[in-house]
Chain A
């Protein structure tokens, strides 16, 4: 770890999609007009596919090294040198980030290809792919960034692209609003991230090791032990702030509200950003800083509790939603909760493993839902679907496989990863966490099968026109589905539970998390098997319930929705009124604050300004009076006196020559007399 191997391939993983984004973003409109949509999709997809190729080669390069040496760094240049703050523009590839770039470029690439079909009729085809590539580049920056700051650049970049893509069809005001909501809610989280980053740098700097590079932080983290700020350990505070950032990006309570609304974006976006990659950024960040979180049991406890609550809470909402994408959105929130549970109990490797498998099957589900929506002519309401099994077999089969995976059917990827988390939750966190996870798992099975039955089975409830147009999606859309659904199986095999064999995935991540963190909980064989059996039984129970209610229809859903006077149903259906509560408290609160501010402005500030203006005017008025009466008075008086004197004297000038001559005569006589009398 201390001697990373320099390389210069990593930069291209980030730069290639960026180049694609720049070309399509700047020239896309022209290219699309001159050369057609094919050229656009070629420019957009090729870089991602090549980046995937590079990622694979990086993976094999790492694999060929000793586990202790698996650390590549691509240092481009020194980015910031400011006092003790030194940040390099550097990308790092260790086992953890390699897993992430494989997911981002691999699944991202498939979604790019899928989007060619899905977005084919859109006029702003080029804009979509420019955003998508930009997002990929930002996500890869986030993942490969060698320092917290560079990670933050990616963090903000994905937030921006997420905003742009949620509001992609901005002509509809609701979509633009959803984009705003996502952006603003994320901003709250980002604020936490920034605070955490500052606090970390500041307290490390106080020890003389100011740095933001992960490697350096890891090296000096121990110096933070025992440091306090306001009576709280610095590590706890910093990790809590960072966790706030993670709740924003990864849609955990209480900042989960933006993700369901984010479904306003095109479906490939939901699959790529709001299921497979961006929302897992929080999980990745905690995994990356796992050593730091491990130093603060308090933070881990908070993480675990919030995560378990999210996992259960989101699942209860998902069971009553009718919008096919909303169900998947809440499912995503819930599954992210599982990942955070793993983080919270310190089972980082398990969490990241679930992240990977979830990326596969959730992307598959979203793309499948997209395929369904495509076939239904934009309809997203499941109550108007049904019977699609016959019309779109390929979508149906892949959807089924992904559903099996997410419910944790034995042998599927979801089984291994989710079960691993539940085991860890039981072994390290306690029964409470495990129970919450278990209930969530049962609900997951229920709502996913409810969705499958409502969408693909039974009689079609669509209108005649839609029915007539039902068709399987083109190959460019279905093949990615097949790859994702089938590809999930071998991925799952990397994470065989301890009692079945080697957990390859945990082993692979060991150099990053170390033995202490990556180690599985010490459960006896029997307990582990028992836990697995219980979770499978619960999942099957969820399936059974859905089967009875939505396939056989022997059990009317109304019997449950009417429980307690429909209270639970209404709570769940209306998402616990959280949006309304936020609206009432934060949005209206902000508006109220703004109104108070406006009143303050209007009366106090304006009053002061107007008052000072009036005062000035009054003083000017006084001044004017002084001028008018005193100054002008003096001047006028002088003038008047002069005038008066002149008036008196003008009589002298009669114009009569005789009188002048008399005057002269008298004057001469007087002069002579005076002369004779006084000067002689």
Chain B
């Protein structure tokens, strides 16, 4: 694989894309709400990699890296809210299967 080196922007982007694809796959395929949340974490982190990579190779300043820190913080908050929702859903439906919880339908 030529060009796949730590000094190339594209290698980071490829990693990020693979991570995004895995996260997306997890979100789409898993029925367990916790797994879905984990998939979301993967997607967020793939975005973080992109931020940091572009910050390092393209812009020349630290803006992207600061954004990445914001995203990590946001992911923590999201995980807290998401887990709280999952807990509430479990209390009402006695399951955390996202396909069983369809009351938003219609």
Contacts and interface: CB of A to CB of B under 8 A. Distances in A.
Nearest to B39: A661
A655 B104 contact: yes
Interface in B22-64: 24, 27-29, 31, 36
A653 B28 contact: no
A662 interface: yes
B99 A658 contact: yes
B103 A655 contact: yes
Q: What range describes how many residues of B lie at the interface?
A: 10 to 19
B105 interface: yes
Interface residues of A, number: 10
B106 A662 contact: no
A654 B28 contact: no
Nearest to B101: A655
Contacts of B98: 656-658
A662 B29 CA distance: 10
Contacts of A662: 28
Interface in A602-658: 650, 653-658
A673 interface: no
B28 A655 contact: no
A650 B106 contact: yes
A669 to B, nearest CB: 11
A665 interface: yes
A658 B29 CA distance: 7
A657 B29 CA distance: 11
B68 to A, nearest CB: 22
Interface in B4-32: 24, 27-29, 31
A644 to B, nearest CB: 15
B93 to A, nearest CB: 12
Contacts of B106: 650, 653, 655
What DSSP secondary structure best describes chain A's contact surface? helix
A653 B27 contact: no
Nearest to B103: A655
A665 B25 CA distance: 11
B27 A661 contact: yes
A662 B27 CA distance: 10
A665 B26 CA distance: 13
A654 to B, nearest CB: 6
Contact of B102 (A650, A655, A661, A665): A655
A661 B28 contact: yes
A655 B105 contact: yes
Contacts of B104: 653, 655
Contacts of A656: 98-99, 102, 105
Contacts of A657: 36, 98
A657 B103 CA distance: 11
A661 B36 CA distance: 11
A657 B28 CA distance: 9
Contacts of B31: 658
Contacts of A655: 101-106
B34 to A, nearest CB: 13
A662 B28 CA distance: 7
A20 to B, nearest CB: 100
Contacts of A661: 27-28
A655 B24 CA distance: 19
Contacts of B101: 655
B17 to A, nearest CB: 13
Interface string A438-455: 000000000000000000
Contacts of A650: 106
A654 B105 contact: yes
Interface in A234-272: none
Most buried by A among B36, B101, B106: B106
A654 B100 CA distance: 11
Interface in A656-673: 656-658, 661-662, 665
A658 B99 CA distance: 8
A661 B27 CA distance: 8
B46 to A, nearest CB: 15
Nearest to A651: B106
Contacts of B24: 665
A573 B15 CA distance: 144
Nearest to B29: A658
Contacts of A658: 27-29, 31, 98-99
A211 B28 CA distance: 117
Interface of B: 24, 27-29, 31, 36, 98-99, 101-106
Shortest beta-carbon contacts, A-B, top 7: A655-B105, A655-B102, A655-B104, A650-B106, A657-B98, A661-B28, A654-B105
24 contacts: A650-B106, A653-B105, A654-B105, A655-B101, A655-B102, A655-B103, A655-B105, A655-B106, A656-B98, A656-B99, A656-B102, A656-B105, A657-B36, A657-B98, A658-B27, A658-B28, A658-B29, A658-B31, A658-B99, A661-B27, A661-B28, A662-B28, A665-B24, A665-B28
Given A658-B28, A662-B28, 19 more contacts: A653-B105, A654-B102, A654-B105, A655-B101, A655-B102, A655-B103, A655-B104, A656-B98, A656-B99, A657-B36, A657-B98, A658-B27, A658-B29, A658-B31, A658-B98, A658-B99, A661-B28, A665-B24, A665-B28
